[in-house]
Amino acid sequence: MSPGVVDYLFRQLVSGRPSEDVQWEREGIALAAQPEGAELARRLSETDIDALTPTELFHYVRAAQRLAAWAEDLRQAAVGRYCHAGTDTPRPGNQAI
C-alpha cells in the first residue's frame, strides 16, 4: 500500500470511523454506477490510483473493465459497418445475383 493509503487508514482507525472512504459517494455518482462513456473515461484517467483503498481499487478496476468492453463493442460495430459498407446497394452496371 502507498504511504497515503496507510496514513488515511491510520487516521480513520484513530478517529473510530470505518476504513472505507464514503465521502466520495456523497459527493457524486460512484464509479460502479457511472455509465460507460467519456465521463467514466475522464474520471478514471484523473484518479490517483496510489491513493485508493483496496476496495476503491477493486471498483476502479471493474469500472475500467466495463469501459474497455464498451469501447470494444463500439469498435466491433464500426468494423462491421466498414466491412459491409456498400454491399447492400447494387452498383451501376452490376446486377444483383
C-alpha Rg value of the chain to the nearest Å? 23
Q: Nearest CA to 67 among 94, 87, 42, 30? A: 42
Single-letter amino acid, residue 13: L
Place 2 in a pLDDT band, splitting at 50, 70 and 90: low
Q: Is the pLDDT of residue 23 over 70?
A: no
* Between residues 65 and 14, the one the model is more confident about: 65
For the entire predicted model, the pTM comes to 0.62
32 closest CA partner among 56, 51, 49, 50: 56
- Mean pLDDT in residue range 57-74: 96
Domain map (residue ranges) of the chain: 3-83
User: If pLDDT is split at 50, 70 and 90, which confidence band does 8 have?
Assistant: confident
Under a CB-based contact definition with an 8 Å cutoff, are residues 63 and 31 in contact?
A: yes
